[in-house]
Amino acid sequence: MAMVIVTLIVSLAASMIWQQWRAVQVETAERARSQAAWILTGALDWARLILREDARNAGPDHLGEPWAVPLAEARLSTFLAADRENAEGAPDAFLSGSISDAQALYNLRNLVDGNGKIVPDELRALERLCTAVGVSLTTATNIANVMQSALAAAASPENEVAPLLPGSVMQFSWAGVSTDELRRLQPYVALLPRATPVNLNTASREVLVAAIDGLDLSSAERLVQARQRNPFNGIPDAQALVPQGVTLNAQRVDIRSNFFEVRGRLRLGERALEERSLVERRRLDIVVIDRERLGLAETAR
């Protein structure tokens, strides 16, 4: 009986110790998650500051500007050098980030007009992009149909069977679009809140071929090479470099951007936390449209 009682007491004590240890681990993880989220908010504020200062210049947006230079991974303690009392004893944390032009991509929102109809010129633009990246033209048609149905559903919420508007390009796989083809298309397309032109100073040659009717890949590459030397200050600068008979439409191309994607990454010990934010620049105001946490995962040692 004494041995049974001792065994029972030891079991209860071990259970209590394990529960206490687990509670400490949960609290530690939650504190690290909360601290990481606040630090990544600081990375977003850094991006806001840069984009606001860029807006004061009122010039064209191009890849030679400060916002296009990524923040290389740096030890967080280097930013806290002036406050050594709070930095002492803190775990090693490394912060990095980048800002990219969302209007350097083809905006799938362009496919459907305000009346809920597919725009033929925009469908042909997406087909040209699909051809340039090795994706079937059927994919372009399927994406356009999904966008039309989803936007119609957003205008008529009572329709319970209509599809939801995809939140990302890969979500078009729900409509039967090949995952492999979506992966090929993903680096070249975006889903923005409203129709937007493509930025001539930041778009890839594949996106330029899509946005400019009649432009081939070699001519698009010539535009990319020319803007690296001197960014376009207006559409006429680019018009002078395209083949005869090709006309740049001011509604489909521009040299300024209002939508940007901000990415922040925090590496804390053996874990990494990444966050993606879509922001819109409205003059000097930088408004967050969407914010998504990309993952909290173990990193390679």
Percent of the chain with pLDDT over 70: 83
pLDDT for residue 294: 72
pLDDT for residue 125: 95
pLDDT for residue 110: 95
- Per the DSSP assignment, residues forming a β-bridge with 282 are 285
Three-state SS for 166-183 is CCCHHHHHHHCCCHHHHH
pLDDT for residue 177: 82
Domains of the chain by start residue, with CATH = 2-103+258-298 (3.30.1300.30)
Helices 137-155 and 120-133 cross at an angle (nearest 10°) of: 140
pLDDT for residue 155: 62
Helix (H, G, I), strand (E, B) or coil at 101: strand
Low-confidence ranges of the chain (pLDDT < 70): 24-38, 77-91, 154-163, 269, 295-301
Across the chain, the runs of DSSP E, i.e. the strands, are 71-75, 93-101, 106-107, 189-190, 198-199, 253-254, 259-268, 271-282, 285-298
- The predicted model scores a pTM of 0.81
Q: What is the pLDDT of residues 91-118, one digit of tens each?
A: 577 888 899 999 999 999 999 998 889 9
Structure tokens at 83: 């406050």
